Amino acid sequence: MKWWGWGHEGTSFTHADKPGLRPFILRHLEVDIGRATSAPVAFDELKLPPPSLAPGLAEALAAAVGDEHVSSEPMDRVVHARGKSLRDLVRQRRGDIGRLPDVVVRPGSEAEVEAVLRAALAADAVVIPFGGGSNISGSLEAPAAEARAVVSVDLGRLDQVLSIDPGSRVAEVQAGAFGPDLEEQLNAQGWTLGHFPDSFAHSTLGGWIATRSSGMQSDKYGDIADLTRGLRVATPAGLLVVRPVPSTSTGPSVREMVLGSEGRLGIISSATVHVHRTPAERVILGYLFPSWSASLAAMRDIAAGEASPSVTRVSDPEETQFSFATKKGSSLVDRLKSKALMTFLQRRRGYDLEAMCLSFIGYEGSERHVASDRRRVKKIVARHGGLCIGSGPGELYDQKKFDTPYIRDFLLDRGVLADVSETSAPWSALGTVYENVTAAARAAFAGLGVPGYIMCHLSHSYHSGACLYFTFAFKPAGGREPLEQ
């Protein structure tokens, strides 16, 4: 994990193979991305205060998890100090590393998690649970003035699928399992959890539960709140066990108090979650719509209909243009095909190419189920003036879907701030929420006197509405604090 940015050291975004991107960003943000103009400070230059541990705490933690799993190494402390919000990254890059944890411990079992908690309580220390470190709500950071010892509890060693109950279609999984590792273990036995948030590669099951996560396939599989049945949580008052019953009809839900609690109630050590058989067939198709309002209406009608797609996603015109601009340099044949399609859309279908919206809809299940869902969706898409452009764009989207966060670091290297913000809203309010948010962003750019860009996609659907996922970028004006801007 990079201490200053997203993902693994050595993996980064490049514009070199995307000929359309440089002119696109030059036009909209007035920035030439040809070369980097900014870089994080060197790690060696960071000023780390020495760790401050209450007397006996280091020994108690070592007794709890073993010497080799207690670390006050500089890199461990810096990586565990914050998540990956834009605010976090901007400050990390300039060497403002905040209140570091004094020690990072890595328990290897639920009993060790409990022992860590007891040791921290006895020493009046602060405990911060740490999963993948991609939190964007500030939950990993201790207050600047925190005087007590801060213990970061990294769940990374608790990465096992403990058991699968094939009859009941649930699996008990340790909280520190990262997305890819978890899916690999489940897939090996023919199962999937079906939870794919954007942070999938760098977040854990415990983190998804603690942050009440949604994913790209929540349409079919549900949010993590729907997928989670049982919980085991080490709390200061002892182990909290929510039994993995299929449903409950008594009392306020303790399960739903732990969901979204961001580590405040305790440390989730494992959870029992719904799993599904890996589908026989899986396809993501691309679609184009003549306008944003037609797209939203189509997604609404799909949600209200009898098809049950796994993915319903559509980009507004601005994000559609951005997608086209990030296409890799393609062959002459591809370019000619694409040109022919655009001509057809303009002349035969009356599309305004500037208003056009790109959509991906995913299908999973038996061959028969997928075929029948595709037919149902096709009718709705046609009713709203859209058309299918095949599986090629969908495959590309599917391969690249977890890479987007890397582009933020690429832009920070070029002095551009970019971030995302999402909300769900009822179908009947989606258009208004969209208009108001984009207008507010453009007014803010104008107020700062800088060029800026805001784009949006509907990321997934619910019964009564959908999630709008906004991405914005701008080059901050000189002479003023970028984060305030």
- Site membership for its own copies, residue 331 (CB under 8 A): no
Distance of alpha carbon 136 from alpha carbon 397, whole angstroms: 24
- Give the total of residues touching its own copies (CB under 8 A): 52
397 is catalytic: no
Q: Which of 351, 363, 434, 469 is catalytic?
A: 469
Token pair 């305030």 is found at 484
479 binds its own copies (CB under 8 A): no
Site for its own copies in 75-114 (CB under 8 A): none
407 forms beta bridges with none
Q: Does residue 447 bind its own copies (CB under 8 A)?
A: no
Give yes or no for residue 478 binding its own copies (CB under 8 A).
no
232 contacts its own copies (rule: CB under 8 A): no
Cβ-proximal residues to 440 (8 Å cutoff; 6+ apart), any chain:
none
Going from the C-alpha of 353 to that of each of 15, 59, 83, 294, 426, the distances in angstroms are: 24, 66, 39, 14, 28
Stretches 4-12, 57-65, 122-130, 240-248: which one binds its own copies (CB under 8 A)?
240-248
Phi, psi for residue 218 in degrees, rounded to 5: -65, -25
> Closest CB to its own copies among 348 and 463?
463
With CA atoms as reference, report the closest residue to 177 among 136, 214, 206. 206
Alpha-helical runs (H) found in 248-384: 255-258, 292-304, 317-325, 332-347, 367-383
Binding mask 409-438 for its own copies (x = CB under 8 A): ---------------xxxxxx---------
Chain center to CA of 222: 15
Closest separation between CB of residue 234 and its own copies, Å? 17
- Nearest residue (CB) to its own copies, 133 versus 215: 215
**Is 67 or 256 the residue whose CB approaches its own copies more closely?**
256
Q: Which of residues 159-188 bind its own copies (CB under 8 A)?
A: 165, 167-170
- Examine residue 241 and tell whether it contacts its own copies (CB under 8 A): no
Site for its own copies in 286-315 (CB under 8 A): 300, 304, 306, 308
Alpha-carbon span 56 to 58, nearest angstrom: 6
Binding mask 261-280 for its own copies (x = CB under 8 A): xx-----------x--x---
Shortest distance (Å) from residue 431 CB to its own copies: 10
Cα–Cα distance between 182 and 186 in angstroms, integer?
Answer: 6
Least Å distance between CB 216 and its own copies? 14
First to last CA, the chain: 28
Which region, judged by CB under 8 A, interacts with its own copies, from 6-14, 34-42, 329-337, 456-464? 456-464
Contacts of 13 by beta carbon, 8 Å cutoff, 6+ apart: 403, 406, 407, 409, 410
Using CB under 8 A, which of 245, 336, 340, 483 touches its own copies?
245
- Locate 8 and state its tokens: 């693994």
Q: How many CB atoms lie within 10 A of CB 246?
A: 9
Q: Look up tokens 């929420």; give the residue.
A: 433
CB nearer to its own copies: give 103 or 467.
467
φ, ψ of residue 240 to 5 degrees: the values are -95, 120
Helix, strand and coil in the chain, % to nearest 5 = 35, 25, 40
- Which residue number, 213 or 471, has a Cβ lying nearer to its own copies? 213
Among 458, 465, 470, residue whose Cα is nearest residue 419: 470
For its own copies, give the closer residue by CB, 21 or 430. 430
Query: Residue 64 or residue 164: which is nearer to its own copies going by CB?
Result: 164
Name the minimum Å distance from CB 359 to its own copies.
Answer: 19
Residue 464 touches its own copies, criterion: CB under 8 A = yes
Pattern 350-389, its own copies, x by CB under 8 A: ---------------xx--x--x-----------------
Q: Residue 4 phi/psi, 5° resolution? A: -115, 0
Closest-CA residue to 319 (of 450, 220, 407): 407
Helices (H), 213-355: 218-221, 224-227, 255-258, 292-304, 317-325, 332-347
CA distance 125 to 108: 20
Name which position in 10, 55, 246, 478 contacts its own copies (CB under 8 A): 246
Which position among 68, 332, 463, 479 is part of the footprint of its own copies (CB under 8 A)? Answer: 463
List the x/- string, 47-66, binding to its own copies by CB under 8 A: --------------------
Token code pair at residue 358: 């790109």
465 interacts with its own copies by CB under 8 A: yes
What residue ranges bind its own copies (CB under 8 A)?
A: 165, 167-170, 211-214, 223, 225, 229, 244-253, 255-262, 274, 277, 300, 304, 306, 308, 365-366, 369, 372, 424-429, 462-467
Q: Which residues are catalytic?
A: 469
